[in-house]
Structure 1
Amino acid sequence: MEGEQAPVVSGVDQYGKKIDLADVLGKKSLILFFYPKDFTSGCTKEVCSFRDSSEDFKALGAEIIGVSSDSEESHKSFAEQNNIRFSLLADGDGAIRKAYKVPKGLLGLAPGRVTYVINGEGKIVKIFNSMFDISSHIAEAKKALEA
């Protein structure tokens, strides 16, 4: 998928707002990251790391959107507890994961942890897939935007 146009999908975030990627793609860069589950240690670390780097990404002209299979209500509680200001999309039916061909992690037992960096023209310029190297998701996304 690297080098290809990013799939245009939509989802509902933690505030019940419909987020349509068509409104973002081709206008600004986007960090679209998929994580397994709200309130788990690795996922909390990842989402909070994106939160802590959000000003850096903003300075690079990128918006951040997270996606997991959790419900809007779970995302709302998770976002409030962790002071998350960017959208977390609920993907209970897996349609967004499927559109982005996100592989499963942990021998197919858990949803994968994958970050997509999409440039201002809507092309996927970097895919980083690592279940355990959480901090590299942020570092690799920054590197791709700075290239």
Structure 2
Amino acid sequence: MMPLKEGDKIPHFTAKDASGQLFESHTVFGKKAVIIYFYPKDNTPQCTVQACGFRDNYSGFLNLGVDVIGISVDDVASHQKFIQKFNLPFTLLADTDNSIRKLFGVPSKIFGLLPGRVTYLVDSDGIIQKVFDSVLGMKHVTKMLETIKK
């Protein structure tokens, strides 16, 4: 699958959230602006920095009219612990079979051993406005804040 890029519409997908409820993308995308970020794994250093960065800036994102959703291959139980441990206020989705990652065309890093870290800014029409790819978690938070404030 070709990677999604700026100007593309978010495809429909479903996943379990951290409470085990079914998340359907069409209930959010196309209704409000959202940052959707793919990260490798719960409780790893860069992923924790990134999640806590989004947490610490979450009210600022909401005030700018943008919600945040994180996605990794971790299961519902792992996401529940990650949310509780770091008091994360936003939705985490379990992509245990990598189907959403493949749908978005998120590349793997380090010889394909590590799932990539890519963040998308999606407008209220469900159109991607910004794609950011970096191994450094906190850079995703600062890049999204800069982009939204422009």
TM-score, normalization: structure 2?
A: 0.93
The DSSP-based 3-state class of the residue aligned with 1:117 is strand
The one of 15, 25, 28 equivalent to 2:29 is 25
Q: Is the 8 A contact 2:123 2:129 kept in 1?
A: yes
Q: Which amino acid aligns with 1:108?
A: G
Q: Is the 8 A contact 1:34 1:114 kept in 2?
A: yes
Q: Is the 8 A contact 2:120 2:132 kept in 1?
A: yes
C-alpha distance in structure 1 between counterparts of 2:109 and 2:57, whole Å: 25
Structure 2 match to 1:134: 137
The DSSP-based 3-state class of the residue aligned with 1:65 is strand
Structure 1 match to 2:20: 16
C-alpha distance in structure 2 between counterparts of 1:127 and 1:80, whole Å: 28
Q: Is the 8 A contact 1:119 1:145 kept in 2?
A: no
Structure 1 match to 2:146: 143
The DSSP-based 3-state class of the residue aligned with 1:2 is coil
- 1:1-147 aligned at under 5 Å gives the runs 1-131=5-135, 133-147=136-150
Deviation at 1:143, TM superposition (A): 2.4
Deviation at 1:146, TM superposition (A): 2.6
Q: Which one is further off, 69-78 or 103-112?
A: 103-112
Q: Which amino acid aligns with 1:96?
A: I
Identity between Structure 1 and Structure 2 (%): 40
The DSSP-based 3-state class of the residue aligned with 2:60 is helix
Deviation at 1:45, TM superposition (A): 0.7
C-alpha distance in structure 1 between counterparts of 2:79 and 2:64, whole Å: 26
Q: Which amino acid aligns with 1:71?
A: D
Deviation at 1:6, TM superposition (A): 1.1
Q: Which amino acid aligns with 1:78?
A: F
- What are structure 2's unaligned runs of at least 5 residues? none
Deviation at 1:145, TM superposition (A): 2.1
- What are structure 1's unaligned runs of at least 5 residues? none
Q: Which amino acid aligns with 2:92?
A: L
Q: Which amino acid aligns with 2:18?
A: Q
C-alpha distance in structure 1 between counterparts of 2:15 and 2:55, whole Å: 20
Deviation at 1:5, TM superposition (A): 0.7
